[in-house]
Amino acid sequence: MKVILIRHGETTANRKGIFSGHLDAKLTEKGKEQAINCRNRIVNLKIDYVFSSDLSRAVDTAKIVIESRNLDIEEKSGLREMNFGEWEGCKYDEIGEKYPDEFNVWSKDTLNIPCLNGESRRTFYFRVIKEYKELINRFDYTNKDKNKTIAIFAHSGVVRSILSSEIIGDIDGYWKFEIDNCSVNILEYDEKGFCYAKKINSLEKI
């Protein structure tokens, strides 16, 4: 069984350089073009099921990429980006200015200390992995579903979390992966459930 992990296209928040976890930032025109490019790159790749974060930037990317396919999109709130709480919509430097005490504590241990009224990276990671495991465990990928392909449209932190869990085995690999807008990573599970990974170059057609 294959799982295709696709990050959404560029958003207004990406362009402004602001924290956008649960903030529902929209795709820019460039983001829509990236999604079209992604669609063209994976046009020959069979997809059987589509899942997406319920935030519009992921759903809209999914709609563009699977436009010509007769597939439904199942939206999952558990695939949302990390919740940055009070820091949503702020630039990194602005957070230190507006919330100096909380920012100082958080910046010393972003893994375990939550954003103000938001999530810690550890809490976020386990939330994503719980959702991901529940999702793929709906399929018998060692037997009858072994030839199925699932596409998941989500966010950089979500893709990092899944790759870290499936390739490294825990959260320690989180920052080892560079996840660009509309980047494509493929996980493949064999009959024993062992996972192989492949990152698709931004110009590579599958």
How are beta strands 184-189 and 195-200 bridged, if at all? Answer: antiparallel
Is 11 annotated to bind ligand? yes
142 is in an annotated binding site: no
The answer to whether 13 is annotated as binding is: yes
| Residue in 33, 74, 81, 94 annotated catalytic | 81
Is residue 9 marked as binding?
A: yes
Q: Is 57 annotated as a binding residue?
A: yes
> First and final CA of the chain: distance in angstroms?
16
- DSSP line for 31-91: HHHHHHHHHHHTTTS---EEEEESSHHHHHHHHHHTTTS---EEEEGGGSPP--GGGTT--
Is 81 considered catalytic here? yes
Q: What is the DSSP string of 168-190?
A: ISSGGGGGG----TT-EEEEEE-
Determine the residue type at 61: T
CB of 40 within 8 A of CB of 64? no
What's the token pair of residue 164? 């870290």
Is 62 assigned a ligand-binding role in the annotation? no
Backbone torsion region of residue 89, taken as left when φ is above 0, otherwise alpha when ψ lies between -120 and 50, otherwise beta? left
Task: Determine which one of 8, 119, 131, 166 is catalytic.
Answer: 8
Q: Is 188 a catalytic residue?
A: no
Do the annotations mark residue 10 as ligand-binding? Answer: yes
197 labeled binding residue: no
**Which residues belong to the active site?**
8, 81
Q: What residues are designated binding site for substrate?
A: 7-14, 57
Q: What residues are designated binding site?
A: 7-14, 57
